[in-house]
Structures are given as structure tokens and as C-alpha cells.
Amino acid sequence: MAKTIVVKQIGSPIRRPEIQRKTLIGLGLNKMHKTRELEDTPAVRGMVNKIPHLVEIIEERG
């Protein structure tokens, strides 16, 4: 079974740079308090690390 992480959006993309909005969309998030279970890869971790003020990792599985 592959490792996964559960990511929750905690910040609004309003008045944020376009690159941060696109990173949220790339993670599958677009509304406040929405959660997504994603595969734990370096690419996903890098996206989360670029916008730590907008998302948080709730849980790590696997």
C-alpha cells in the first residue's frame, strides 16, 4: 500500500499570487476546509511546502 497524506485547506486564495492559487488547484483544493487524500510523493510534499500558510497536513497514512 502506498503512503498517503491528508491535506486540508485552511487559507483563502483571495488576494494571493496566481502561482499560489494554481498550486492549490494542482493539489485538488479550491474551497476552505476541503480535505484531499494524496499520494505522499516529493512533488506533492514540495507543493504543500510552497503554501504552508494555506494548507496543513492532517494525517499521514501508510
Q: CATH number, domain at 12?
A: 3.30.1390.20
pLDDT attached to residue 12: 97
The pTM (predicted TM-score) of the whole model is 0.92
pLDDT attached to residue 1: 63
User: Averaged in consecutive runs of 10 residues, what is the pLDDT profile of the chain (62 residues)?
Assistant: 93 97 98 98 98 97 91
pLDDT attached to residue 53: 98
Q: Which domain holds residue 35?
A: 4-61
Domain count, the chain: 1
Q: For 30-37, which contacts have Cβ atoms below 8 Å and span 24 or more sequence positions?
A: 33/8, 33/9, 34/8, 34/9, 35/6, 35/7, 35/8, 35/9, 36/6, 36/7, 36/8, 37/4, 37/5, 37/6, 37/7, 37/61
